Amino acid sequence: MGKLATRLYVEEDLTAGAVVGVNHQQAHYLRSVLRLGRGAAIALFNGRDGEWLAKLEGLGKGWASLAVQSRIREQSESPDVWLVFAPIKRARIDFLAEKATELGCRRLLPVMTRFTAMERVNVERLRANAREAAEQCERLDVPLVEPPQPLAKLLEAWPPERRLFVCSERGSAPPFGDALAKAAEPQPAAVMTGPEGGFAESELATMARLPFVTLVGLGPRILRSDTAALAALAIWQSVQGDSSARPPSPASAEGASEPDLAD
C-alpha cells in the first residue's frame, strides 16, 4: 500500500490491536497543526517493529491515543556508519543532527577534542532532532545519540573492526572517495570531523598511528565542521551505503512537504 503522509516515532511496542500514546509535542502536532480527528490514519514506528498503520482513536489537549492495525513495512536498519564529531554551536549542531539522520547515520558520538570550544552538549535536544528527522525522512530506525566523551577515551574503547575515517585538513591524506573505493569490501565505518579550530597536530599524529584509523581529505576548500560531516556521510553512502535503494513509494514524497515538528 502507499505510504501515509503522517509518521510518528513512538517508544511502545507495535503489534496489531495495541493502543499506544504519543508525546505532548506529537499530540499537539496531530491536533493543532494537522487538525486531524478521530479515525485519521497515521504511520507509527519505534525502531524495532517496522512501520505500522494506526488510527487516531482519542485526541485531547496534549495527548492522543492510536489503535495499531497492520504492519506497512518490515523493520530495516540504516547502513552501518557512525558520525564522530566535535560539538559546535547550537544552530549548527541542530542542523548536523538532522542532516546526519537524513543521511542514514546509525550513531552520533560527540567527542571533545583539544580545540573544541563547546563545553556542554544538550544530548536530549540532539535526540529530539534525530527523532524528528527520522519521522520526516522515513527511516525506520533512529540514530543513537551518545553523551560526549574525551577523544582519548573514545579511541581507547574503539571497536577495532570499525574503520574510523578522520577528515583532516592537514598533512597528506587520500580523498575520502578514493579511500572507500580501495576498501576490499564494505566494513562497519565511522567518519570523524573536528571542531571549527580543526584537530591539533598531536591529535592527528596520534590517530594516524592507530590501526583502525584512516586519515582522509575532502578537497581543497576549508569546510566548516558541519559541512565536512555531511559531505563525508553523503560520500560514504554513495560508495558503500544504500544509495542504490529508492524511497518506499511515490506517495512518500508528500511526507517531505509536511510542516515538521521542529517548526
Binding residues (CB under 8 A) for a copy of itself: these are 91, 95, 98-99, 102-104, 115, 136-139, 169-178, 195-198, 217-224, 227, 230-232, 234-235, 237-239, 241-248, 250, 252-257
Spell out a b/e string for 237-247, using b for 16 or more CB atoms within 10 Å of the CB, else e: bebbbeeeeee
Sign of CA dihedral 180, 183, 185, 191: negative
Nearer to a copy of itself, 40 or 179 (CB): 179
Nearer to a copy of itself, 37 or 219 (CB): 219
Nearer to a copy of itself, 64 or 141 (CB): 141
Quote the least distance from Cβ 152 to a copy of itself, whole Å. Answer: 21
Quote the least distance from Cβ 8 to a copy of itself, whole Å. Answer: 15
Cβ pair 263, 132 in contact under 8 A: no
Cβ pair 95, 88 in contact under 8 A: no
Output the nine-digit C-alpha cell for 123: 544530548
Quote the least distance from Cβ 251 to a copy of itself, whole Å. Answer: 9
- Supply the DSSP symbol for 193: E
Nearer to a copy of itself, 153 or 224 (CB): 224
Q: How far apart are CA 258 and CA 161, in angstroms?
A: 40
Closest to 143 in 3D by CA, of 111, 94, 103: 103
**Bridge partners of residue 163, in order along the sequence:** 189
Q: How far apart are CA 138 and CA 25, in angstroms?
A: 19
Quote the least distance from Cβ 13 to a copy of itself, whole Å. Answer: 24
Quote the least distance from Cβ 163 to a copy of itself, whole Å. Answer: 17
Output the nine-digit C-alpha cell for 101: 539522520
Quote the least distance from Cβ 74 to a copy of itself, whole Å. Answer: 13
Q: How far apart are CA 62 and CA 123, in angstroms?
A: 24
Quote the least distance from Cβ 55 to a copy of itself, whole Å. Answer: 23
Nearer to a copy of itself, 111 or 230 (CB): 230
Nearer to a copy of itself, 99 or 131 (CB): 99
Ramachandran region of residue 87, left (φ > 0), alpha (ψ -120 to 50) or beta? beta
Nearer to a copy of itself, 99 or 163 (CB): 99
